[in-house]
Amino acid sequence: MTTKTTATTGRGGLDAEEVRRRVRAFLAEHDPATTDRAAFLRARFDAGLAWVHFPEGLGGLGAPRALQSVVDAELTAAGAPDNDPRRIGIGLGMAAPTILRFGTEEQKARFLRPLWTGEEVWCQLFSEPGAGSDLAGLRTRAVRDGDAWTVDGQKVWTSNAHNARWAILIARTDPDVPKHRGITYFVCDMTAPGVEVRPLRQITGEAEFNEVFLTDVRIPDAHRLGDEGDGWRVAQTTLMNERVAIGGGAVPREGGMIGVAATTWRERPELRTPGLHDRLLRLWVDSEVARLTAERVRQQLAVGAPGPEGSGLKLAFARLNQAVSGLEVELLGEEGLRYHGWEMTRPETVDFFGHDAGYRYLRAKGNSIEGGTSEILRNIVAERVLGLPSEPRIDKDVAWKDLPR
């Protein structure tokens, strides 16, 4: 599949050749070999070469999203540093598009540049004990106090909270209306008094997730995203982008988890059996279908915002990661039971490929929970993609305070 970016023209007549010219002019003034990394990234943002589809002045050129590949290819060829996207994935994939759509001009100017350069790491304070799949049932409370809000509650499964400077947060601001209508969306300072981060040790031995306790945390109203009580609608933008970010990343043919299993199959013929061969072929085909589907969704995203189709990508990603990692462990036999160690670490990123097969098998179990459980994603695909009847929801018109606990 070939994309002819030279035919893509945006506002102001920007096309691939013009964008390429701008990148080369930028590199002539900012040699990656001699420019400090942080200074290079800040200058790249200011030149509009961070997200080319973002507005001018906010890291972009107002150009078609498809032209980002032109920028990235030129900079990679020149040996330019990247912004370590895996480390700041929550900021890039979830916070940034939400701030762009719902933030004030002051919020965009304050948050987007250090978010993109990686100088400020972000996390997501959504899920709670008892409000995971039913996120709208959340209990964390925000009470207005003049020009600020006082927030109390508990959040859970918060990736990278131990490194984060800022968090995107949803909280209950009106318990007297139905649960979806009484939520407001905030940007929370993770260094504020009353924010406590505790590690959650996983089956892998790591603690990349955390629980976060909020006690009398003050958030200025200037850090509210969207209108008061409209947080559920704002959160949908975050969630749809999250699912595309998790399940719709660009990978080469035979990339990702299936590539590891296929390499093991080729390099270790003594491990092969006819049954495992059949399973590998089926999973290889499924992985290729998922990869091409993700490419189609990214092309749709280039001309608009992500929709519910991203839930299907994330659903397929979780299923395939678990199936392929299970096959790899079986293929390796006793060797597949080996594990690198159980000491607790606090990683900044999820690295499936820097560990052994046992790690991949265990860590993949979380894929069907994080970013929306597979059960909830099946409902979204059924109702919002396939148009099937909705499940009965008897609580949708009941005030949150009157719901059974």
**pLDDT above 60 for 308:** yes
**pLDDT above 80 for 2:** no
**pLDDT above 80 for 131:** yes
- Min mean pLDDT across 218-232, 261-275, 349-363 is at 349-363
pLDDT of residue 244: 64
Catalytic residue among 120, 206, 211, 242: 242
| Per-residue model confidence as pLDDT tens digits over 15-58 | 899 999 999 999 999 999 999 999 999 999 999 999 999 999 99
Give the residue carrying structure tokens 């603690």. Answer: 207
> Do the Cβ atoms of 381 and 315 come closer than 8 Å?
yes
What's the sign of the alpha-carbon dihedral 321, 322, 326, 329? positive
pLDDT of residue 243: 63
pLDDT band at 304 (very low <50, low <70, confident <90, very high): low
User: Is there a catalytic annotation at residue 242?
Assistant: yes
Instruction: Compute the average pLDDT of residues 104-127.
Output: 97
pLDDT of residue 386: 86
> Do the Cβ atoms of 397 and 178 come closer than 8 Å?
yes
| Per-residue model confidence as pLDDT tens digits over 51-87 | 999 999 999 999 988 899 999 999 999 999 999 998 9
Instruction: Kindly state the DSSP code that residue 222 receives in the 8-state scheme.
Output: G
CA–CA separation, 20 vs 25, rounded Å? 9
